[in-house]
């Protein structure tokens, strides 16, 4: 985590500071690498002006051995600074990885945010990629460009001015490149992001895509998005490629021009041959970082736009504050004037709901499709925030609990079950990596899932690969129920818990609910099926997001149901009628 830094850019800067010491060393190594760059020109100078003049083989050998050593040292330092920068990048990324993952999780409660979350993870990668790319090292080398040019001035002012003019032309070309390609890179990124999201959705819905003949149309739509991205990438690469080719040839031309001009000054007696060659090499060294930075410009652009959007993204999801650990609460739930607006929406889908459940009680919530039952379940489980009102469990409001701890106190079985990559045991144990076998089996037995799990190829150690078709709907629902029961929660929220269960599973569920009540804990069941409320003492009827009745189950049924008699008989477990 990134300490106390404010969300967004400050915490990203704090993450960057984690690599500051390493950054410093990379800078120091760069100073020596650049000083050692002078080895070549100085060698030339000595060979041409001293060795050739004196015809001394000993001097040549001594100089050559020295140069060999200096080049070896330069190679080691250059390698070292590359390694150091890779670690700067790794520190930056690992400082933000966990925080960003958590932020994407919190934002994913609004389905429209899925694409933004995927993009944020890629943005972090693109910033990290900058650290390992040669661009930053080239930027470290750039301050030496004027030093090398100054050295050329010492040889001859006209050669110096030639270098300055050449350098300026290369810089102007680099800026032009940035101006012409920046917009295309951004457009290509946005289109490729859209294509990724589209492909994710298509894969998730592959059952429908493949069985209902959508594949061809989906493919066309995907290709359209990809082609926009490709088009922009090809265009920006064309621009960058042409600028890179121009810069490279221009630099070679400039070096030859320097040599030509140098030869002229040698003839005029204003320059030694050694200085002529050394000047040309120095020019190459001076302009190499500019050329390298330009060749890798798209990396810098992606990192820059990644940094901006990542900062804005993190700003919207501040890190969760550290909260005092509250003790395990009593199973006493009080909801006062609860109003819930789904994330990303404006209109409440649940309004002014007030009720109370005491330890040992079970509440059934019934209502038509779309009346707000699942909304109530999500808000009570702490997944969707309240827009108004409050919910207290054991005297404390839900947001006073640390979210992970609250999850341990509340067992929640959502209507749509999600299981994750891991073993059945890990899934039941809420993805703990070394769960207690005893607790896992206990939860599975309570959920009437134990025997079913023993039938799986490797029992509790069967690996679920995230493929929804690996288990049947009923098997998934039972494993998810075991997960809800894991760790002895005090409150159980079950949204349509027997929608996939057979009669036997449904009866077992009622036994679980009754055992829960006996141990002084409470249960809330959202359902369409009378069998699911057989153990409920209280009943709430929800219509268009409002509670139209609440009280003892039989009283409420008597008052509100038209088909009260058939419902009463189906309470015994036969799913004959719906409410």
Ligand X SMILES: Nc1ncnc2c1ncn2[C@@H]1O[C@H](COP(=O)(O)OP(=O)(O)OP(=O)(O)O)[C@@H](O)[C@H]1O
Of 361 and 375, CB closest to ligand X: 375
Of 369 and 433, CB closest to ligand X: 369
Question: Closest distance between ligand X and the C-beta of residue 491, in Å?
Answer: 19
**Residue 147, token pair as written in the block:** 């030093």
Question: Closest distance between ligand X and the C-beta of residue 340, in Å?
Answer: 9
Question: Closest distance between ligand X and the C-beta of residue 447, in Å?
Answer: 21
**Residue 358, token pair as written in the block:** 């005491």
Pairing of strands 362-366, 522-526: parallel
Tell me how crowded residue 54 is: count the other CB atoms within 10 A of its CB.
11
Question: Closest distance between ligand X and the C-beta of residue 529, in Å?
Answer: 11
Question: Closest distance between ligand X and the C-beta of residue 377, in Å?
Answer: 7
**Residue 193, token pair as written in the block:** 């992001």
DSSP state of 55: T
Tokens 């959202």 correspond to 526
Question: Closest distance between ligand X and the C-beta of residue 197, in Å?
Answer: 17
Q: Which residues, other chains included, contact 195 with Cβ-Cβ below 8 Å and sequence gap of 6+?
A: 222, 225, 226, 229
- CA angle, residues 454, 448, 369, in degrees to nearest 5: 125
Q: Can you give the length of the chain in residues?
A: 579
Of 137 and 365, CB closest to ligand X: 365
Pairing of strands 422-423, 362-366: unpaired
Q: How far apart are CA 45 and CA 64, in angstroms?
A: 13
Nearest to 236 by CA among 293, 177, 292, 194: 177
Of 142 and 500, CB closest to ligand X: 500
* Integer CA distances (angstroms), 120 to 18, 111, 146, 229, in order: 21, 15, 38, 18
Question: Closest distance between ligand X and the C-beta of residue 353, in Å?
Answer: 12
Burial class (CB in 10 A: 0-12, 13-18, 19+), 121: middle
3-state SS of the chain: helix, strand, coil percent to 5? 65, 10, 25
Of 114 and 186, CB closest to ligand X: 114
Of 240 and 371, CB closest to ligand X: 371
| Residues at the site binding ligand X, with contacts judged by CB under 6 A | 111, 342, 345, 349, 367, 369-375, 415
Of 162 and 540, CB closest to ligand X: 540
Give the CA radius of gyration of the chain. Answer: 35
Contact between 149 and 160 (Cβ < 8 Å): yes
Question: Closest distance between ligand X and the C-beta of residue 342, in Å?
Answer: 4
Of 133 and 527, CB closest to ligand X: 527
DSSP state of 49: I
Question: Closest distance between ligand X and the C-beta of residue 371, in Å?
Answer: 4
Of 205 and 459, CB closest to ligand X: 205
């Amino acid at each position: 985590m990134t300490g106390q830094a404010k969300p967004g850019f400050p915490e990203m800067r704090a993450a960057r500071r984690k690599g500051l010491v390493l950054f410093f060393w990379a800078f120091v190594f760069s100073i020596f690498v650049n000083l050692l760059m002078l080895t070549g020109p100085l060698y030339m100078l000595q060979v041409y002006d001293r060795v050739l003049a004196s015809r001394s083989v000993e001097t040549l050998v001594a100089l050559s051995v020295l140069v060999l050593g200096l080049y070896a040292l330069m190679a080691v330092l250059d390698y070292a600074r590359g390694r150091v920068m890779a670690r700067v990048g790794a520190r930056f990324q690992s400082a933000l990885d966990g925080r960003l993952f958590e932020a994407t999780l919190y934002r994913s409660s609004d389905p429209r945010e899925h694409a933004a979350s995927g993009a944020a993870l890629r943005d972090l990668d693109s910033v990290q990629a900058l650290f390992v790319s040669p661009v930053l090292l080239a930027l470290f080398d750039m301050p030496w460009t004027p030093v090398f040019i100054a050295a050329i001035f010492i040889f001859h002012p006209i050669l110096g001015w030639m270098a300055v003019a050449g350098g300026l032309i290369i810089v102007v070309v680099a800026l032009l490149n940035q101006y012409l390609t920046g917009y295309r890179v951004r457009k290509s990124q946005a289109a490729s992001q859209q294509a990724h999201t589209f492909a994710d959705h298509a894969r998730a819905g592959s059952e429908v895509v493949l069985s209902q003949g959508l594949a061809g149309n989906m493919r066309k739509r995907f290709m359209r998005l990809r082609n926009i991205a490709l088009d922009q990438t090809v265009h920006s690469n064309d621009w960058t490629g042409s600028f890179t080719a121009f810069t490279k040839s221009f630099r070679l031309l400039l070096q030859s021009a320097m040599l030509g001009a140098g030869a002229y000054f040698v003839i005029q007696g204003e320059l030694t041959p050694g200085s002529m060659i050394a000047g040309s090499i120095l020019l190459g060294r001076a302009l190499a970082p500019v050329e390298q930075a330009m060749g890798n410009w798209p990396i810098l652009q992606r990192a820059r736009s990644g940094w901006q959007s990542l900062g804005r993204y993190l700003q919207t999801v501040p890190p969760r504050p550290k909260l005092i650990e509250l003790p395990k609460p009593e199973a006493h739930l009080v909801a006062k004037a609860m109003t819930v607006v789904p994330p990303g929406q404006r209109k409440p889908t649940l309004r002014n709901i007030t009720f109370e459940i005491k330890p040992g009680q079970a509440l059934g919530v019934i209502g038509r499709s779309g009346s707000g039952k699942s909304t109530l379940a999500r808000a009570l489980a702490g997944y969707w925030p309240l827009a108004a009102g409050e919910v207290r469990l054991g005297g404390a409001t839900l947001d006073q609990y640390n979210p992970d701890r609250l999850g341990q106190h509340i067992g929640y079985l959502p209507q749509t079950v999600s299981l994750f990559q891991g073993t059945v045991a890990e899934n039941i144990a809420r993805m703990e990596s070394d769960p207690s076998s005893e607790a896992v089996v206990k939860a599975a037995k309570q959920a009437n899932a134990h025997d079913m799990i023993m039938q799986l190829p490797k029992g509790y150690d069967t690996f679920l690969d995230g493929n929804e078709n690996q288990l049947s709907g009923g098997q998934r629902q039972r494993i998810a129920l075991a997960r809800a029961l894991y760790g002895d929660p005090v409150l159980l929220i079950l949204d349509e818990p027997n929608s996939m269960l057979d009669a036997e599973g449904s009866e077992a569920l009622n036994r679980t609910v009754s055992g829960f009540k006996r141990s002084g804990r409470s249960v809330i069941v959202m359902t369409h099926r009378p069998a699911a409320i057989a153990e409920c003492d209280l009943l709430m009827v929800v219509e268009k997001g409002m509670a139209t009745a609440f009280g003892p189950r039989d009283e409420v049924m008597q008052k509100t149901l038209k088909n009260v008699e058939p419902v009463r008989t189906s309470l015994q477990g036969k799913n004959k009628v719906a409410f």
